Amino acid sequence: MPMQFIVPQFIDVEDKILGPLSVRQFIMFLVGAALIYIDYELMYHLAGNFWFFLVSAIALFGLTGVFAFLRINGRPFHWFLLAIIVNFRDPKLRIWSKYVPNDELKRKKEKIDNGPDIPMKPGVTQSQLQRLALIVDTGGAFTDDVPEKKPKR
C-alpha cells in the first residue's frame, strides 16, 4: 500500500486568534491603540485641545485599519509600502535610449581593458592544405618528397 502524504492547503491564509483578527492584525491594532493613547496624552492633557485629538485619533485609527486589513495584489499593505520606499530610494527602471553621446562612448572605450594578448596557433598555409587534400583524395597513397622528421631519442 503506497504511503500517502497530506498536502497543506490555504497556506496564504493567516490563522485567526481573536475573532476575525490574525496575530499580525492584532499586534497592529495594539500598536495603533498605543499611538492613540500617546496622542491623547500629548494633545488633550498637555495642549488641552480635544477636537485636534479627536481628528488625529480618527486618522490614526483609519491608518491602523489600512495597515491591518488592506491587501494589494494579495500582499499586506506594509509590504506594498516597503516596496514603494525601496523603489524610490533605488529605482531599477531601465529605459533604452538609442542616442549615446560621443564622450560617453570614449569613456567606455577607455575603461575596457583587454588584458595580455593570448598567443594564437599559427594557421595552416595554402601549400599545407593542398598537400593534405591530396593525401585525403588518394586515400593515403600519396607520399611527397618532404622527409618526415623523426623524434630524437
Residue 70 parent element (H or E): none
Q: Which three cell numbers stand for residue 67?
A: 495597515
| Cα gap 56→33, rounded to integer Å | 12
Higher pLDDT among residues 147 and 54, named by residue: 54
Alpha carbon distances (Å) from 151 to 18, 115, 121, 128, 148: 91, 37, 21, 21, 10
pLDDT in tens, 39-62: 999 888 888 888 899 999 999 999
Percentage of the chain beyond pLDDT 90 is 29
| Three-class DSSP category at 135 | helix
pLDDT in tens, 73-104: 888 999 999 999 988 888 777 777 777 677 77
Over residues 28-37, the mean pLDDT reads 96
Q: Model pTM?
A: 0.52
Whole-number average pLDDT of the chain: 82
Contact call for residues 39 and 18 (beta carbons, < 8 A): no
